[in-house]
Amino acid sequence: MSIKKIPESTISRLFVYLRELSELSKLNIRTISSSELGERVNLNDAQVRKDLGYFGQFGISGSGYDINELKAALEKILGKDKTWNVAVIGAGHLGSALITYPGFQQHGLNVVTAFDADVKKIGKRFGGITIQPAGELPKAVKEKKIAIGIIAVPAKDAQEVANSLVKSGVECILNFAPTVLSVPENVKVNNVDLSRALETFSYFLVNPALSGRVNKAVSGKK
Amino acid sequence: MSIKKIPESTISRLFVYLRELSELSKLNIRTISSSELGERVNLNDAQVRKDLGYFGQFGISGSGYDINELKAALEKILGKDKTWNVAVIGAGHLGSALITYPGFQQHGLNVVTAFDADVKKIGKRFGGITIQPAGELPKAVKEKKIAIGIIAVPAKDAQEVANSLVKSGVECILNFAPTVLSVPENVKVNNVDLSRALETFSYFLVNPALSGRVNKAVSGKK
DNA sequence: GTATGTGAACTATTTCACAGCT
DNA sequence: AGCTGTGAAATAGTTCACATAC
């Protein structure tokens, strides 16, 4: 058993590499070395090689990586050739913006339904999507083969929505509510906490002298 | 010099603790132990104590932490007693949603101006904010004492906007563009990459068997 | 000569475990 | 007895450095 644990940060960086490779491919550049690629995305060359190394050997010693080949390999690994159905729960400010957010479609994610608990919101339309009553969720998940649920409800309701998603069989949850969700082991939760992202700034603004004491995140500079 | 480096993840968790303490305070609970608090936010008790330990000693041996006292201490540390002015750059889909997103105000962040490079967008109003031409940015940053810039422009324009923000004196940037920004050491960048957050799901959906091989993020379960 | 792939070294972060306080 | 605060141990993640391949 020589299976290595793969850091989640590696997977996250794989998407960064893929994006950069797509750019390079458009420019008709053929090959790139780990150090050139690393430089473009502010990462160490060894980091690039190690990340790729978890999934196989893609390079040619002495000359680097074939851009189109590596791009295709990463697309395969990351499932970019597939599309997934998404449900948005919560049609308030954030939720309604997400329903029509075009960035999702660009990445193989189709918002196919949306729900809200508030009767006043039911029946409203955003883009081509009509808001359904929250009670319809379990049925819709099965019928529409929803793989990903996006939680955009107030913090106090988030856990309940998560429970309902999990019970209906959804295994991936993107949580915009500023709260910690409890879910079974097999369910993957990503948190996007807009407030928290902004809040951490307030710490830095209040403690400018301390900023040197804080370690940089995922991809610090050299 | 006994100054310890503080992990950025610690600061992030401090906000989680603070939120939980606010809830507890409302319920008129007086004290809490590190293990109880940890359990509520899915973290190890030692983690809670170590995080707090970077900033001082807040607990009472044998009985735990006074909720209101700890809450006040964290608010001070995290700068929650202050407010900051924010500029949004990019008034497209995402930008315009952010301009009126009420979550920011709840955390002491006031969106006071917004900009766009597109002449068609200039003069449009979202909430009480009128979109200004991008060229006005440097002047506005100084006049309105903007501390935080939110980048909600396409990836290809993001670096240019960041340069302009930095040159104008902004030291905190929240970047929604899916690209790696190069900024001077003293500037703090937080990335909120919605696409990436969703993209990582596609990896898990394609490789369900592998999910056990991937380490959990910041706050794994016990 | 140049650049990969990968153990080994290093650095960062989390968890353990226990002395000491209330 | 119960719980904090904190060194020490364990684990995770990054960077170095070099043998090996083209």
CB atoms under 10 Å from CB of A169, counted, come to 12
Bases of chain C below 7 A from a protein C-beta are 1-7, 12-17, 20-22
- Give B214's pLDDT tier (boundaries 50, 70, 90): low
Write out the two tokens for A192.
Answer: 């996007």
Q: Tell me the percentage of chain B whose pLDDT exceeds 90.
A: 66
- Which domains are present in chain B? 3-77 (1.10.10.10), 84-191 (3.40.50.720), 196-222 (no CATH)
Q: What are the tens digits of pLDDT across the range B156-179? A: 899 999 999 999 999 999 999 888
- Give B213's pLDDT tier (boundaries 50, 70, 90): low
- Give B61's pLDDT tier (boundaries 50, 70, 90): very high
* Residue B44 half-sphere exposure toward CB, CA atoms < 13 A: 10
Of all helices (H) and strands (E), which one includes residue B74? helix B67-78
- Give B101's pLDDT tier (boundaries 50, 70, 90): confident
Q: Is residue B165 a contact partner of residue B138, using CB atoms and an 8 Å limit?
A: no
CA–CA min distance A133, chain B (Å): 24
Average pLDDT, chain B: 89
Q: For B185, which residue in chain A has the nearest alpha carbon?
A: A221
Q: Rounded CA gap, B28 and A198, in Å?
A: 29
Averages of pLDDT over runs of 10 residues in chain A (222 residues) are 77 94 95 97 97 97 97 95 95 88 84 97 96 97 96 94 96 90 87 80 78 47 30
First to last CA, chain A: 34
Kindly determine whether the C-beta of residue A33 is less than 7 Å away from any atom of nucleic acid strand C.
Answer: yes
A102, A186, A214 ranked by CB distance to B8: nearest = A214
Residue B132 sits at φ, ψ, to 5 deg, of -105, 160
